[in-house]
Amino acid sequence: MDYASLPARDIERHARNVQPGAWSVDDRQPLSTLLGSCVAVCLFDPQLKIGGINHFMLPNIGRSKHGDVDSLLSGNFAMEALLNALLTRGAKKPRLQAKAFGGGTIIDADAGSLTIGMRNASFTKEWLAREGIPLLSSDFLGPWSRKVLFLPFNGEAFCKRLVTSMATATVIDREEKAYAATLAQQPKSTDKKIELF
């Protein structure tokens, strides 16, 4: 299907949804995600015409109560996973371009959620700068949730700021809390230890 010729609303109906903590790479199917305080980064190789999107949260600074997982690595992991998935498909790092969105504060923001959004936005900018990947456009912070639609075959990204209704806030809050809980879980005894370097 030629998605590029369709209006964004019609493209969205065909998009694969990327949940919190996930990423996806494609060269045909549109990708979408719904953000609260999380961030989504879209990476695109204009020569190969392939791209991908992730959706991540940086929870509280420091190690989990189990001491096994540095919770700040979730953002690093999401960025490395997306980058590696693109490189595996033939993308070249020097050609990559980025667009990034999120870090919003939705309904009755407390200091904690405001801090998470700011840290997500700062981390994203710092990571991309460190890796030498230009950030072509972004929409960070503010009192909005966001719907992001990414066309991985041409690098176009659409970001719609949403006045957060109670229903939307509930869905986002539930998904982000479930994601944060998975980051804090103690690995099962059968899990192998992974050494990050």
CATH code of 74's domain:
3.30.1330.200
Q: Is 1 within a domain? A: no
Per-residue pLDDT at 44 exceeds 60? yes
Q: Is 180 within a domain? A: yes
Per-residue pLDDT at 105:
80
pTM for the whole structure: 0.78
Q: Is 192 within a domain? A: no
Q: Which one, of 32, 71, 56, lies nearest residue 175 by Cα?
A: 56
DSSP helix/strand/coil, 160: strand
Residue tagged active-site, from 11, 18, 31, 38:
38
Q: Is 109 within a domain? A: yes
- Does 42 participate in catalysis according to the annotation? no
Q: Is 77 within a domain? A: yes
Per-residue pLDDT at 151 exceeds 50? yes
For tokens 């879209």, what's the residue?
Answer: 42
| Mean per-residue pLDDT over the chain, rounded | 81
Per-residue pLDDT at 12:
84
| Counted domains in the chain | 1
Per-residue pLDDT at 171:
72
Domain that holds residue 96: 10-184
Tokens of 136: 């072509």
